Structure 1
Amino acid sequence: MTDIRDDARAGFEAVFGRAADGLWSAPGRVNLIGEHTDYNEGFVLPFAIDRRTVVALGVRDDRRVRVASTFADELAEIDLDALAPDALGGWSAYPLGVAWAFGEFGADLGAVPGVDLFIDSDVPVGAGLSSSAAIESAVALALNDVWQLGLDRRTLARVGQRAENVAVGAPTGIMDQSASLLGQADHAVFLDCRTLDSELVPLGLAEAGLAILVIDTGVKHSHATGGYGERRAACERGAAALGVSSLRDATVDDLPRAQQLLDDVTFRRIRHVITENQRVLDTVAVLREQGASAIGELLDASHRSMRDDFEISVPELDLAVETAVAAGALGARMTGGGFGGAAIALVRVGDLSRVQVAVDNAFGEHAFGQPDTFVVTASDGAARN
C-alpha cells in the first residue's frame, strides 16, 4: 500500500506541478457469494480486499475538474457547470460521473471549488474484482471530504452506483460500492440490497488455516456490454410474470409456477437468482454456526448455477473452478458479473501451492493464456490516507 500511495502522490505532482492536498483510497472487492442478486433487491456477501485504488486530490481556485491516471494517457478536463452524463466518456466517466452524481443526492455543486485528481490502482481491471467501484468509492470519499458535503457511507455507495448506471451506462447494483465503502478487516459485508441494511460477518479465515485464492483468467469483461443488460431484463420479465416487484419476493416454492409461466431461458435466469439469494442466507448461517471451512459446497453450487442457469461463465472460468476443486480446494466459484474475469477458491493454506500449480498446468494444457493467481485478505474499506 505504501508504494501505491507514493506513486499517486508523485503522479499528481508530475501532472499538475504541485503537491496534492490529500490522499484517499478504496479497495476492490471479492464477492464471496451472491451474484446478480443485487439489482434484484436481494442479498449479497462481498468483502473488501487488500488491493486498492488511491486518489491524490488538490483543490483548485476555479471551477475546473481535471483527472489523470496511471492507466490512461489523456488528461480529462471539464467545468463543474458542464457536468452531465452525455458530456462524459471513456475511463474518466467513472470519477467525473461521481462528481456529477453528487448533485443527484442534493449536493449544491454550484458552491464547491474545482479539483485536480490523480488516480493510481493495483486492483486488476476487468477481473471482476470491482476496479470501477474502487475508483468511484475513493473519489466519492475524497470529494465528500473536501467539498464538506457530509453524506454518510451508504449514500456515497448510492452516489457511486448512480455514476456507474447513468454516466458510465452499466446497469449494476449497489453491492460493489457498498463493499468498498463498508468493508472491515476479516469480515464480509452481508448486505440487503433492498433496504441497504448491512451487517459485518466474521470470516475467521486465518485462524481456520484457510485462504481465498483469486484466479484471474485474463479474459476481460465489461458490465457496459450487452450480456449483463440482457440478464437484468430477463430477471425483470420473470418478476413481472410472477406478479412481484422484484425477484427478492420470490422463493424456491415459486419455481414450479414460474416454470409453467416462462420460457426455458427466462426460467433458468430467475431460478439462478432465487436459489442464489437462498445460498447467501445459508452461507451467512454456516459461517456463524460452523465456520468458513463448511461453506465449500455452497460456493460450488453457486458456480454451477451461474454456469448452467445464468450462463455467464466462460471455459476459462469453468476450468479454473474444476481444477481448483480437483486439486484440493474446499469450494470454488466464478466471482463478479461474469463473461470473463476471475474465480475464487477456498483453499487450506497448506494446499495453496498445489492448487496454483494445478491451475497453471491446466491452462497450459488447454492453450489458454497464463492465469494470474494470488491470495486476497478481507480488508478495511475506503479511507483517507
Structure 2
Amino acid sequence: MTVTRSTSDLAARFQAAFGDAPDGVWQAPGRVNLIGEHTDYNEGFVLPFAIDRTARVAIRVRADSTLRLLSTYGDQGMTSADTSSLTTSTAKGWTKYPLGVIWALQQRGVAVPGLDLLLDSDVPLGAGLSSSHAIECAVIYALNELTGAQLEAEEMVLVTQQAENDFVGAPTGIMDQSASLRGATGHAVFLDCRDQSARLVPFETASAGLVLLVIDTKVSHSHADGGYASRRASCELGAEVLGVRALRDVEVADLEEASGLLDDLTFRRVRHVVTENERVLETVDLLGTSGPAAIGPLLDASHRSMRDDFEISCPELDLAVEVSRANGAIGARMTGGGFGGAAIALTPVGAEQQVRIAVEQAFSEAGFRKPDIFTVTPAAGAMRLS
C-alpha cells in the first residue's frame, strides 16, 4: 500500500487527480479490541481503542450527482457511480465502504450530492484492525459536515452499521465504529452495546512500562463470509432457546443450566460470549484500580475461549499468542472477528525485541508468511484535518 503521510500531500494528489482542491480532509482511526470479542452483536460489553493508524479522505462536493472515487493504493483506478442509482452491484473492492455510507445516509433521508473522493490509509488490510470501518467512519464524519446532517456520534455509528449490514453484507455490530468515532488518546472505550452508552477508561501502556504489540499474521479474513454469520446465528439460537432477548442477559451462573438445554456446539458458542462479557467487566475494573499490568491473565483466558469455544482462531494466531507468552508477554490474544488477522501481546518494554524475534523465527520454522509486527497506542477518534 502506498500511503500519503501528510495532509498537504494528500490534497496535492487530490488536485492532480481531480483538477481542483478538495473541500477538506478528514480522518478516522482503525481500532484494536483490547477485550470483548463477538459480544457486540449480543448486546454485551466491549473494550476497544482507536489506534494511531488511520484512513483519510479528501473530498470535494460536485454540482452534479456523479461520484468519483480513487485510492492511493491498489490498481483499481478511478471508480464512477451516481448518487441516484447506488446498488451493491455497483460497488467493487474498497469503494463499497464509502458508497455504503452514502447509501445508508440516503435511507435516512439525507440528500448526498455528487462527490470526488480520494482515500489514503495506513490501517493494514484484513488484519482485524477494522480497516473497512476506518474508511466508513472517515466518510461519515466528512459527509455529516458537508451535508449538514448534524448527526450525533451515536447516530453516525448506526449509519455505518447499516452500511456494513445491508450494503456491504457483513453482519457486524457497533464496536468498531464506536471506537473509531468516540476514541480518545490514552484511553479505551468501554461500550455497552445494548444502549450505546460509553465511557473512557484510562489505558496508558507507556507509563506502566509496557507496549502493546500487534502481530499481523497476514492471514486475510472477511466478515462477509459464512464463518462470522454462522457464529452469529449460533448466538441467536442460544438466546432463543434460553428465552432471553440476547446473550447479554445470561450470567456465568446460568451456564450450568444452559448446558442441559443446548446442543454442545451452541453451548460452547454461548459460553464464550457469556464469559467474555465477564472478562470485559473485570478488565475495566482492573484498569481502574491496578493498571494495565494486571490484565494479562484475562487476555490469555479470552484467547483460549475464542480458540476452543468459539473456534475462530487459526494456527498462525495460536502460534503468535503462544510464542509471545513464552518470551515475556504478560498476556496475549487474537483480536478482531477471527479466522485470521492479528494477535495482540501486552509486553514489557524490555521484552519487546525478544518477542518480535521469537515470533518471526517461529513463523519461519512453521512455514508461515512473515508476520508484520508493530506497536499501537490509544489515539484520538475521527476528526477533520483541514
Band the TM-score falls in, shorter-chain normalisation: over 0.9
Q: Partner amino acid for 2:267?
A: F
The equivalences for 1:188-199 within 5 A come to 188-199=188-199
**Identical counterparts, % of pairs:** 61
Which residue is equivalent to 1:100? 103
Q: CA deviation at 1:364?
A: 1.1
Q: CA deviation at 1:204?
A: 2.0
The equivalences for 1:276-355 within 5 A come to 276-355=276-355
Q: Partner amino acid for 2:254?
A: D
**Secondary structure of the structure 2 residue equivalent to 1:56:** strand
Moved more, 86-95 or 264-273: 86-95
**Secondary structure of the structure 2 residue equivalent to 1:212:** strand
User: Normalising by structure 2, what TM-score?
Assistant: 0.96
Q: Partner amino acid for 1:137?
A: C
Contact kept, 8 Å, 1:164 with 1:172, in 2: the verdict is yes
- Distance across 1 between alignment mates of 2:256 and 2:307: 21
Q: CA deviation at 1:86?
A: 5.0
Moved more, 148-157 or 319-328: 148-157
- Distance across 1 between alignment mates of 2:243 and 2:123: 40
- Distance across 2 between alignment mates of 1:122 and 1:89: 20
The equivalences for 1:111-260 within 5 A come to 112-260=112-260
**Secondary structure of the structure 1 residue equivalent to 2:140:** helix
Contact kept, 8 Å, 1:40 with 1:247, in 2: the verdict is yes
Contact kept, 8 Å, 1:130 with 1:176, in 2: the verdict is yes
Moved more, 57-66 or 310-319: 57-66
User: Could you say what the CA RMSD is over the residues aligned between the two structures, in angstroms?
Assistant: 1.3
Q: CA deviation at 1:85?
A: 4.0
- Distance across 2 between alignment mates of 1:6 and 1:340: 35
- Distance across 1 between alignment mates of 2:133 and 2:192: 18
Q: CA deviation at 1:87?
A: 4.2
Contact kept, 8 Å, 2:100 with 2:163, in 1: the verdict is yes
Alignment match of 2:36 (pick from 34, 37, 43):
34
Q: CA deviation at 1:144?
A: 0.7
- Distance across 2 between alignment mates of 1:106 and 1:34: 34
Which residue is equivalent to 1:370? 370
- Distance across 2 between alignment mates of 1:7 and 1:260: 61
Tell me, yes or no, if structure 1 residue 91 matches structure 2 residue 94.
yes
Which residue is equivalent to 1:382? 382
Q: Partner amino acid for 2:227?
A: G
Query: Compared with structure 1, are the counterparts of its residues 201 and 37 closer, same or farther at alpha carbon in structure 2 (3 Å cutoff)?
Result: same
- Distance across 1 between alignment mates of 2:256 and 2:288: 31
Q: CA deviation at 1:93?
A: 1.0
Q: Deviations over 1:201-228 (max 9, x none)?
A: 0012111111110000010000011100
Gaps of 5+ in 1: none
User: Normalising by structure 1, what TM-score?
Assistant: 0.97
**Secondary structure of the structure 2 residue equivalent to 1:81:** coil
Alignment match of 1:79 (pick from 82, 90, 99):
82
Q: CA deviation at 1:365?
A: 1.2
Q: CA deviation at 1:84?
A: 3.7
- Distance across 2 between alignment mates of 1:215 and 1:300: 15
Q: CA deviation at 1:245?
A: 1.0
Q: Partner amino acid for 1:360?
A: E
Gaps of 5+ in 2: none
- Distance across 2 between alignment mates of 1:11 and 1:262: 56
- Distance across 2 between alignment mates of 1:65 and 1:50: 29
Which residue is equivalent to 1:5? 7
- Distance across 1 between alignment mates of 2:159 and 2:130: 16
Moved more, 262-271 or 87-96: 87-96
Which residue is equivalent to 2:63? 61
Contact kept, 8 Å, 1:323 with 1:358, in 2: the verdict is yes
Q: Partner amino acid for 2:269?
A: R
Contact kept, 8 Å, 2:4 with 2:120, in 1: the verdict is no
- Distance across 2 between alignment mates of 1:74 and 1:162: 27
Q: CA deviation at 1:66?
A: 1.4
Q: Partner amino acid for 2:215?
A: I
**Secondary structure of the structure 1 residue equivalent to 2:208:** coil
Alignment match of 1:43 (pick from 45, 56, 59):
45
- Distance across 2 between alignment mates of 1:357 and 1:88: 41
- Distance across 1 between alignment mates of 2:163 and 2:104: 6
**Secondary structure of the structure 2 residue equivalent to 1:255:** helix
- Distance across 2 between alignment mates of 1:14 and 1:251: 57
**Secondary structure of the structure 1 residue equivalent to 2:329:** coil
Contact kept, 8 Å, 1:220 with 1:341, in 2: the verdict is yes
